[in-house]
Structure 1
Amino acid sequence: MAGISLLLNLLKSAQGSSSSSSSSALLIHSHALFTASAAASAAAADIPISLPPNPSLLEPFLVMGISVAYCDAGAATAWNENFIPNLSSATENETSIAFECKKYPIEHRPLFSAFQLRPLALTSLRSFLQFYLPLIEIHPPVEDDDDFTLDVPEERHVDLLTPFHNSLKQIVRETSAVTIRRVLERLAVHYCSQRMAWKLLKDVSKSARRKAKRGMPAYLFWFNVSRTTFRGHALGIVASWIVQMIVAFYRYFIRKTYNVGENHKREEKIRLFWKEVYSSTIKFSSSLIFASIGAGIGALFHPSIGQWIGSSLGDLAGPFIIILVFEKLHLQI
């Protein structure tokens, strides 16, 4: 349609002139249109082309007083080698362009890693220090009303057997929690997607170190580290919660008390058990939340060590903070 309208305009502008000159002008312009279109098509197809014998045919001409250059926008640049795509060069450089998808490497830790020498030694040392350090607390001497110090301090009997039993129980709890976590990791790999399993199992400290190299803003870095810590710490919190529920079930339904006054009815035992479930769920959830927040804050000071210290402090402070909040609100936990 554009060609027909162009021819009609040329016929109108050529009135009064000789028929021979009009015919020759139409042939020239038609040849120019065909040459420019052919040049554009050849450039798109990467076909070698040559200039026509009369380059003046491609010079700008006037149509109804409007200057039209080459009748095609791409005809003028068709012969520039920098603008023509070269398929052979693209094929040669194809190997230099690598399109890699993000990989999610999953490293399985040993199922009974908690019973290895180093982890078991650290767990035992921490448990014994937790229960035996309060026994060496220094008590100031007691003074009477006359501000005279008593010459003979009151002797106290130190029970060393109870802290030992408590330490053994704590060791069993921690090793059981780590073993259950290893089982949950294998279940996550089997039932979850590879991407989600990698998020649950990856090393949070190494991830924080990688995020620190991206140069993101502080608030975004804190949010990403907190979210990563929440995912990476979730399986450990769930494993500890499962161990706590097993202990509570054993305490209320399996263990037999020999003192008749301590026996409870079945309904009372069920009520106490569900209260333990409710209280433990809130405490472990607060540990997970505050550990994530603390990890993000600590990572602002140091990506790996700060993240680990912040996560540990948040894990310990979470239950105490939630207890204070519930006491202020006069709620039971």
Structure 2
Amino acid sequence: MAQPFKSLIKSIRRSQLLFERLTKMPGQLEALRRALEDHRREMRLLHGLQTLPERQLWEGKPPKIPGKPHAHAFPYSTVCRQDSFETPWFSYWAERLDESLRYHRKLWEFVFICQALSERDAVRPGARGLGFGVGSEPLGAYFASEGCRITATDMAVERAEEMGWILTNEHAAGKAALRKPAVCPDDLFDANVEFRTCDMNDVSQDLTGYDFCWSACAFEHLGSLEKGLAFVERSIQCLKPGGWAVHTSEYNYGSNVETIDHADTVLYRKQDLEAFVRRLEDQGHRVAPLDLQMGTGLVEQYVDVMPYRDQPHLRMSLWGHPTTSFGLIIQRGES
């Protein structure tokens, strides 16, 4: 019995030593985490200082050029590029939406949606439009000002609080959040805009018969690459045959293999978009051909890192992946 007893004592002692190490580990891991975060912040600052374009390239720009909407600015589903910002029609849309003219991909998304729908004659008096995840964007107000009847939707307040959208002012709690008097007079806004809550992963079946729909950088937040694409498919079913869907999202231009999936924010690759276009075309829909050629402007060579700047911000780093915005233009098939 002596030998087994000694073995038991040794086993207990080893367990005690392991327990002592484990009880010390959380503190050691926390110290390591803090050191790593300090290192990350320092690297972000260093990277930002070294890669920020010279001020004369972006400060006070792009130039404001008098103009009007273009007849064929976006024949393709495409990516955010610097050259779009330096056109008369881009200046027109920034002013029309009461947005400051600046090198920012979110402004490009707003302009892309308005221009793409306008040149396809979707924005007209009496047309019905459906917006998803509208936040505080000016698009609903603009469409209403043109006589369109708009249903603007966003997630329920409780869910928005969980995801942090309210703190960053990226959620609409109701119709009042969408009011933009400089874009649409209040009487016209009140007459033409209604607000509803909507889960983009479970779009209500009664949202049908619309002439156009849109979302601006929303469907990448639905939980996975596939959930985002399934939403786009569902949004098309909200349209009349021949209606138009225009959606923007995150494009990972750094890799066609590695990306982020199954996360709060996912990143779409070239292969994802190409496969999705084939999928929609197989269903009888028409998709404006993909143009994913990246621009070569001096400002867009800069990749913004957290904490992100107000401008220039055409490209950014998300979990180490260089990304920008892309837009899809889809026409529902006749069936």
Q: What TM-score do you get using the length of structure 2 for normalisation?
A: 0.26
Q: What TM-score do you get using the length of structure 1 for normalisation?
A: 0.26
Larger radius of gyration: 1
Name whichever structure is richer in strand by fraction. 2
Instruction: Say which structure, 1 or 2, has more relative contact order (CA 8 Å, 6+ apart).
Output: 2
